[in-house]
Amino acid sequence: MNDRPSWERDGHSWPNRAHSRFVEAGGLRWHIQEAGSGPPLLLIHGTGAASHSWGGLLPLLAERFRVLALDLPGHGFTSAPAPQQLSLPGMAAAVGALTQQLDFAPEIAVGHSAGAAILARLCLDCGIEPRLLISLSGALLPLRGFAGKWFSPAAKLFARSSLVPRFFAQGARKDPRSVKRMVDGTGSRLSPEGIALYRLLIAYPGHLAAALNMMASWDLAPMLRELPRLRPTLVLVGFAADRTVPLAEAERVQRLLPAARLRILPGLGHLGHEESPFAVFELIVREAEALDARS
């Protein structure tokens, strides 16, 4: 059984395929997508996803920006590093190595879920210096309560076993409805084509192993202490129907950073940028224009 997605085998129907290419940076072979011209804008997807997550949004943004999207290490078609490099600092450093290799200095950075935390870490470590950081349902702070106590130990237990990703990958291959149930559980409603792309990825245990190792290595406690020194203008976008990172988490970040601006998009779940790319596009443009007006 093949453990990882293959561009030659699986990339024929990948969204925005015409903008895809592969580059070497930081010891990894990256799958990236570049499109458009204008102010440079960086897109970082969340855990377990890949560049397909920006399938509807990237062409819209490319009308106004020079856009760079990527598959995170071990995700999608980007090669996998050693498991210990899938920590938050490790992932941020890897993305920083890629942007340096490409000489890409984003003025705007947009991250979804864990992708927002990677961007915040990269900014705090001075790997990039954007003027505007937009967090789409960002997982920026440690989980609270029972979930916070259970999440990391469970992820570490699952990551240590090669059987767990194979079990879930086999389930995705045998029962397409299992992937739809997983997506529905986030509060989002995706098209059959969108669900099929997640099923394509989840059917490969190597992709799942990278996501599990990423979660097992995740430590947001330093972020809680360091976020107040974040330099870019921060916009917190909450999706009102999100069942994965509830709107209350964005409100929690705003209490920590009162200067951050909170924007709420109604009727959308955790994958709101996939459900309604135009609404998110309009929001990004408004925030970019507002920043320019204040400059």
pLDDT at 186 over 90: yes
More confident residue, 33 or 161: 33
Q: Which of 17, 16, 19, 22 is CA-nearest to residue 57? A: 16
Average pLDDT over residues 109-117: 97
User: For 117-169, what is each residue's pLDDT tens digit?
Assistant: 999 999 999 999 999 999 999 999 987 653 444 445 555 555 555 666 676 67
Structure tokens at 220: 């947001």
* Side chain identity at residue 23, one-letter code: V
For residues 92 and 117, what is the distance between their CA atoms, to the nearest angstrom?
9
pLDDT at res. 161: 57
pLDDT at res. 288: 97
Kindly list the structural domains of the chain, giving each domain's residue range(s) and its CATH number in brackets, ordered by start.
15-145+219-294 (3.40.50.1820)
Structure tokens at 45: 């997807």
128 with 109: CB under 8 angstroms? Answer: yes
Residue listed under structure tokens 């937009």? 134
